[in-house]
């Protein structure tokens, strides 16, 4: 009876472990938008979305904010690396709290390796952006 209970409990905990002990990543972000650069750091659990917002530099505090949402998911490991898929939503929050999405880039990055993506807007150069990230797996 004790052995059966111990086995059942072990299987139950093993089944729950991906839910309880989800992989998390610290994502260090450098965003250049409108010629101004900001740096942020965010903790993201695998399969979940995390977000940050901050006052836009050069603007009057409380007037306009920039927001970044990110989700992370570990991809199938290769022999020498574990790629991580990062999905971003980058935008502005206006004075009326209306969100305007500027870009929704995806990046496949390697742990502890800096990756950069740049996007140009042909119609509105003020919306050109560059996004650099460094992703660190938390144990």
In tens, the pLDDT along 33-59 reads 877 888 999 999 999 999 998 876 544
Residue 4: inside a domain: no
Residue 107: inside a domain: yes
Residue 16: inside a domain: no
Q: What is the pLDDT of residue 37?
A: 87
- If DSSP codes are grouped into helix, strand and coil, which group holds residue 3? helix
Residue 87: inside a domain: yes
Q: What is the pLDDT of residue 114?
A: 96
Residue 86: inside a domain: yes
CATH number of the domain at 41, please: 2.60.40
Q: Determine the structural domain holding residue 121 and report its residue range.
A: 22-138
Q: Assess contact for 88 and 107: CB atoms under 8 A.
A: yes
CB atoms within 10 A of CB 132: 17
Residue 131: inside a domain: yes
Overall domain count for the chain? 1
Residue 14: inside a domain: no
| Mean pLDDT value of segment 73-93 | 88
Q: What is the pLDDT of residue 122?
A: 72
This prediction has a pTM of: 0.75
Q: Which residues pair with 32 in a beta bridge?
A: 37, 130
Residue 133: inside a domain: yes
In tens, the pLDDT along 1-27 reads 555 544 444 444 444 444 456 789 999
34, 48, 10: which is closest to 121 by C-alpha? 34
Pick from 32-46, 57-71, 93-107, 115-129: least confident: 57-71
């Amino acid at each position: 009876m004790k052995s059966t209970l111990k086995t059942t409990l072990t299987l139950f905990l093993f089944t729950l472990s991906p839910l309880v002990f989800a992989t998390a990543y610290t994502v260090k972000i450098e965003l250049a938008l409108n010629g101004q650069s900001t740096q942020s750091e965010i903790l993201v659990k695998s399969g979940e979305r995390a977000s940050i917002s901050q006052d836009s530099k050069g603007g009057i505090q409380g007037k306009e904010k920039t927001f970044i949402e990110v989700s992370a998911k570990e991809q199938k490991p290769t022999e020498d690396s574990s790629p991580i898929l990062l999905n971003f939503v980058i935008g502005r929050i206006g004075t009326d709290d209306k969100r305007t999405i500027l870009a929704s880039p995806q990046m496949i990055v390697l742990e502890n390796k800096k990756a950069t993506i740049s996007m140009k807007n042909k119609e509105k150069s003020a919306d050109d952006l560059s996004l650099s990230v460094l992703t660190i797996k938390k144990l």
